[in-house]
Chain A
């Protein structure tokens, strides 16, 4: 049996764009520190925007950890993503306060405009859309976030403004 993770057709496409140099840098930085798997995976996610399959094989080989174990860690923590994510992450709060003040309309409007649902990424990799249980700023309900930017007192008009603003930014 081969030591590397089996490579499928989909992965071959990934392989053509996967540049191991970034992952190697991260591994190099942490490789002699005990308990280095989490920081390495976080560093890789920062570098690529997600954790590529081939990076998992590379980390497994370099850190001498089973690929299965890495996959277990990646699926345990919500912070890790195994698919490429959009440049701009839109989060819409579905908590109680937001719900009461019309979060559902906000979600619907986003879907009508950019046609992606929860945890989906647009084909051009510009947007990833996520519904979250509570963003912890109920006073600003209904609430949305794009990356680290917060948008309170959301309205349908504001949705259009947000999309316009981020569509004009570079990818």
Chain B
């Protein structure tokens, strides 16, 4: 610790602190423009100049100068004030004074500083800049005339996002911020640059001229897309969510968001939102009152027993899932409830439940930056959970964590410094992890786990998985596997990450067993910064598991329910927020089921492709309109409060299922708070004290080694291996309504390698037909360095080019491609 004096106040700070950090501790406000707590010190703007007794004769930048023992700092002497005022005069010299029409007005750090320092006139005069404003993309406006060259956008894009889209161009007075060859911005559109821009040089285009900053109500909430559980602040005016507001103090991620979180909010007040219930009359869906619609549903559910079934989306709150479960299991008397196509949750409900004794991953997202070694299965972890990707970037770049990627295609993570990437043949994940486990056992790196239940059986069962035996079949050399196993065992704290979701059928219970085995064998569990993290697809995927929205004893899972619809054993199907027609595999089968089932009820925000087939459509609320809790992928329980009142006649599902329970003679919890107390997994968490940042539900593990079954996957000869997955810009099918996300990624595509493209003479952007035994779909080709020869990739979110016409739910589908 170092002791120093700032403005006559004595403070003690860590020895690597800067004067600026120390001033913060002392409660002294030093003005800054280019400094950001998330970024490395830069010292570009000279606003933070201070006087230091021991360094007389010049002014010292507080944000880059480390503290020394006995330092005496003065932050607002006359020379300091004079220097700051000159800095502002120089900045304002070329900066246009167009504050009345600048969206940053009222939230602008330059404006505030000019006001604080009374820069009401300028002793200097010069021409304003005449840079062309970049309107080339739909989301981020770049107006270089307003730029103060603080470099925050350049730095955040490098240090946290690792995209490096922006740079300083030219030199001296001609310096500006731009892209390579000064072209249009082509990036992930996460908008991190906008969030840190102190002036109006970078603006969110969807929010332009929507509201003055001070007229917005700022409502804390939780992002409703993926399982990361990022805190967001919604900017609300006139009962409309107009933007997301950056708050650097929010959540574990310090307000950092991805493209969906920042720009995908528009679905909330979309014109496409359902305004009233719909009931099918004479073959047409027509508007109806809630009473009429609910009465119809009640008449179908009453006494239906196991002929009724429900499929719910893990985007609903825990309390809503709780009520729907009660409705189905108690009032209706059906055990047939499930979510996520019945398989996307098996890594937890079956895999980790058997391996660790609990259907949850033991580690948290905050462990990533505390780890020494990250083993990431499938580079898609970046695409499915971009903010987790930022954490990985920072762990590797700032904390020197070693990154090992085991994937069937390359991704952005592979480009991180010192990342080791092993590209394997599609579908061989389990065999590879088994081989790693065998190395651990054979090389006596797993001695600590010898007493864990199942050790002997596992050791015997892995006999066929020696690295030399699986190398050819998996496409990874035996030496590389041994090296990885040794590195993993040697790391003090090692964390395994893998995504699960509808598009990742191979990330199932077997993969979870295989991953858990490694962590158990090498003794990586129970330590901070070490263990296992399963990245779940939806904002409340973990909640749906915790609530137990899975088939009750003897009940059917999602796939069996669909089969039941076809065979006639399921007569009434309630689909709450899922859009199986697009998101579940095998569209033909789903279509047959939805066509065949006697009565289909869909509760959704939109008239989705599934809802169009319904007999009754119930309009329900988005996360911005309801109260309740979501559980993030690391069992962080987060509370949400309504930011706006319900859109149209839509109702929170909590009310809808509560009313149905009452109508069927049951008693539902009256408030979400009451429902929350009935969730056993969250016993010990006080609902009233929950916040948007969340509280971790406890995960007590009881490790057991389970022998994973490695699937035998074979791509038919002469065909290509189709992998499904998520696109960076989308999450599930909801982002199809989040205008910003669609603006930058409007349609499905097929990624293929340069080798395959040139062999088949397919140009980038050409439309190709992808066909399997099941069907075909037309997609735009994207020739990419990410893909290995013989492997193609397609994201699954898009209704207009639904890959589930081709994909049957297999981990790897054999396809042909024709022009």
Contacts and interface: CB of A to CB of B under 8 A. Distances in A.
B785 A3 contact: yes
Interface stretch (B175-183, B624-632, B681-689, B734-742): B175-183
A67 B178 CA distance: 11
A111 interface: no
Contact of B167 (A4, A5, A61, A69): A69
Contact of A72 (B168, B764, B786): B168
Interface string B165-204: 1111111000000111111001110000000000000000
A66 B167 CA distance: 9
Contacts of B182: 71
A75 interface: yes
Interface string A49-91: 0000100100001001011111110011000001000000000
B339 interface: no
A69 B159 CA distance: 13
A17 interface: no
Given A1-B187, A2-B782, A66 B158 contact: yes
A6 interface: yes
Contacts of B188: 1
A1 B171 contact: no
B255 interface: no
Looking at chain B's contact residues, the main secondary structure is: loop
Interface string A35-50: 0000000000000000
Given A66-B164, A69-B164, A70-B180, A75 B169 contact: yes
Interface in A128-161: none
Interface string A1-29: 11111100000000000000000000000
Contacts of A2: 186, 764, 782, 784
Interface in B390-449: 415, 417
B785 A56 contact: no
Task: Name the residue among A53, A56, A68 with the largest chain B CB count within 10 angstroms.
Answer: A68
A102 to B, nearest CB: 30
Contact of B164 (A4, A53, A68, A82): A68
B171 A75 contact: yes
Contacts of B415: 64
Contacts of A76: 168, 170-171
Given A1-B188, A2-B764, A76-B170, A68 B179 contact: yes
A64 B167 CA distance: 16
A75 B170 contact: yes
Interface in B757-780: 764
A152 to B, nearest CB: 31
Contacts of B163: 66
Contacts of A64: 415, 417
A1 B189 CA distance: 10
A50 to B, nearest CB: 14
Nearest to B169: A75
Contact of A5 (B158, B171, B181, B782): B181
Interface string B200-235: 000000000000000000000000000000000000
Contacts of B764: 2
B167 A68 contact: yes
B167 A6 contact: no
Contact of B784 (A3, A56, A69): A3
A64 B165 CA distance: 14
Contacts of A5: 180-181
B547 to A, nearest CB: 38
B431 to A, nearest CB: 30
Contacts of A3: 784-786
Interface string B596-607: 000000000000
A41 to B, nearest CB: 14
A67 B786 CA distance: 17
A89 B167 CA distance: 30
Contacts of A70: 180
A54 to B, nearest CB: 11
Interface string A78-114: 0000100000000000000000000000000000000
A68 B786 CA distance: 20
Interface string B519-561: 0000000000000000000000000000000000000000000
Nearest to B417: A64
A63 to B, nearest CB: 11
Contacts of B183: 6
A23 to B, nearest CB: 16
Contacts of A67: 164, 180
Contacts of B784: 2-3
A171 B128 CA distance: 44
Contacts of B158: 66, 69
Nearest to A60: B180
Interface in B243-298: none
A3 to B, nearest CB: 5
Given A3-B784, A3-B785, A66-B158, A71 B186 contact: no
Interface in B85-129: none
B164 A71 contact: no
Interface string A107-128: 0000000000000000000000
A3 B178 CA distance: 17
B168 A6 contact: no
Interface in B501-518: none
B582 to A, nearest CB: 24
A14 B171 CA distance: 27
B344 to A, nearest CB: 27
A71 B785 contact: no
Contacts of B181: 5, 53, 56, 71, 82
Contacts of B165: 66, 68
B766 to A, nearest CB: 14
Nearest to B745: A1
Contacts of B167: 66, 68-69, 71-72
Contacts of B180: 5, 56, 66-68, 70-71
A72 B188 CA distance: 20
A82 to B, nearest CB: 8
Nearest to A70: B180
A70 B167 CA distance: 9
B171 A68 contact: no
Contacts of B171: 75-76
Contacts of B782: 2
A5 B170 CA distance: 19
B9 to A, nearest CB: 41
A5 B167 CA distance: 14
Given A53-B181, A67-B180, A71-B181, A6 B164 contact: no
A60 to B, nearest CB: 8
A6 B182 CA distance: 11
A154 B515 CA distance: 78
B191 to A, nearest CB: 15
Interface in B764-819: 764, 782, 784-786
Given A53-B181, A66-B158, A68-B179, A6 B186 contact: yes
A6 B180 CA distance: 10
Nearest to B782: A2
Nearest to B182: A71
A64 B784 CA distance: 16
Contacts of A68: 164-167, 178-180
Contacts of B786: 3
Interface of A: 1-6, 53, 56, 61, 64, 66-72, 75-76, 82
5 nearest A-B residue pairs (beta carbon):
A66-B164, A72-B167, A68-B167, A67-B180, A71-B180
9 contacts: A1-B187, A56-B180, A61-B785, A67-B164, A70-B180, A71-B167, A71-B179, A71-B182, A76-B170
Given A4-B785, A5-B181, A72-B169, 20 more contacts: A2-B764, A3-B785, A5-B180, A6-B186, A53-B181, A56-B180, A66-B158, A66-B164, A66-B165, A66-B180, A67-B180, A68-B164, A68-B179, A68-B180, A69-B167, A71-B167, A71-B169, A71-B178, A71-B180, A72-B168
